[in-house]
Chains A and B, each alone.
Chain A
């Protein structure tokens, strides 16, 4: 086993034992269970039904809670280890900073992605046993979107973790990033910018830099574009852009964004004192 995989494997094992992981897994598993208990698969509201409706609801809730979970559990990864001198000891062994940093990211990615994906997979399997038809197109798209959203926020979290010196500041910053991006989804974005008379292209451009907004729009892109259901920004984007192009963008952009932030984080990590 090389050092990169060693660090990834040990971080994964350590995270899985942590209490936050238990809560994290229970929240996403619990959501799916709750949807089944509540009879979501049997209901027909606004044209969505069965597993499609369940997956759509799951993904809508995930937009809000997945980023904050990733941010608060990951921003202390490097800064916390620096704070309590774990880095000082663990990096007194012949492991390159590159292997340590990227190994941590790989380990943490598996930790945060697995529960959200498995919860969705379990929903599909359970749905099949109940005789529901599997919406493969939605399932594959949502898998890609969850992967992309996890990548982007993991990259942002590792960047914050490398840049700040104290884990307390990292935590505060994580909340700020989450609230900021959440508030710039659709309605708040529109109202704020209309008030200041920004043109619509600028509003859409800003919306498309927000990985949470991109995730939300892509999640409803497979359904008929109706303004009342989607909101103005999503409607405008899907109306003016080819669906396949937007879906490609919605997966590629957050992954690239995450990689860019993670790379900047690595550059900072490499240049700064380890203790």
Chain B
């Protein structure tokens, strides 16, 4: 369970998140929507423990994601909007995930295959040299292989072609169990079959929160 209470995050004089309170329980599959600068990404970065809040708190299964980052991140999978320019080879990146998170290598291979990403011929290539779509497919495969209780996707299909998107949504539906999924998205139509809750944010606040 994710509990966010009176959470505020400022950058200089700009308030990015303004005293937000919200909770997500098992079985919640949530679309986080809103215009650019609404505070969606700030909220997920606070949940991941990447930002220190100015006030308020985030608890994940009762744990603070900054003080207990290792325990908390054991149970979270994350895919960013833009794949970062990681210079490790695919094999090294997979090794990083396997060793740090206890993910099975064959699970990553399995989901990569499901996403129609050929891993074997590309294992020695640097991650940043892959095409945008290939990078995103690998990050999605890693997130699914981690089998976390919480999955956070920040515009995960931005670089994917229609076929890859279809594969992604199919895999999400297959694995849609009693866990929490948060999707930062502008394409609500594509997620209709997956989400059961829709939150709209603007100017750092939650404007609407409804079950769908």
Contacts and interface: CB of A to CB of B under 8 A. Distances in A.
Interface of A: 1, 3, 6, 10, 13-14, 17-18, 84-86, 88-97, 271-275
A6 B96 contact: yes
Closest 3 CB pairs of A and B: A92-B78, A94-B73, A274-B50
21 contacts: A1-B99, A84-B84, A85-B80, A88-B84, A89-B78, A89-B80, A89-B86, A92-B73, A93-B101, A94-B69, A94-B70, A94-B71, A94-B74, A94-B101, A95-B100, A96-B69, A96-B70, A273-B51, A274-B50, A274-B51, A275-B50
B97 A275 contact: no
Contacts, number: 74
Interface of B: 45, 48, 50-52, 69-74, 76, 78, 80, 82-88, 92, 95-97, 99-101, 139
A273 B52 contact: yes
A85 B82 contact: yes
B81 to A, nearest CB: 9
B55 to A, nearest CB: 15
Contacts of B70: 94-96
Q: Which of B51, B72, B87, B97 has the most CB of A within 10 A?
A: B87
Contacts of A86: 84-86
Contact of A6 (B74, B86, B99): B99
A92 B48 contact: yes
B70 to A, nearest CB: 5
A93 B50 contact: no
A90 B139 CA distance: 11
A163 to B, nearest CB: 16
A10 B88 contact: yes
B52 A271 contact: yes
A272 B70 CA distance: 17
Given A94-B100, A273-B51, A273-B52, A17 B74 contact: no
Nearest to B48: A92
Given A86-B84, A274-B51, 7 more contacts: A90-B86, A92-B76, A93-B100, A93-B101, A94-B72, A96-B69, A275-B50
Contacts of B48: 92
B139 to A, nearest CB: 8
Contacts of B85: 84, 86
Contacts of B80: 85, 88-89
A18 B88 CA distance: 11
Nearest to B52: A273
B194 to A, nearest CB: 21
A13 B96 CA distance: 13
A250 B50 CA distance: 40
Contact of B96 (A85, A93, A96): A93
Nearest to A89: B84
Nearest to B82: A85
Contacts of B96: 6, 10, 90, 93
B142 to A, nearest CB: 9
Contacts of A94: 69-74, 100-101
A275 B9 CA distance: 13
A24 B201 CA distance: 50
A95 B69 CA distance: 8
B98 to A, nearest CB: 10
Given A13-B92, A85-B84, A96-B70, A91 B100 contact: no
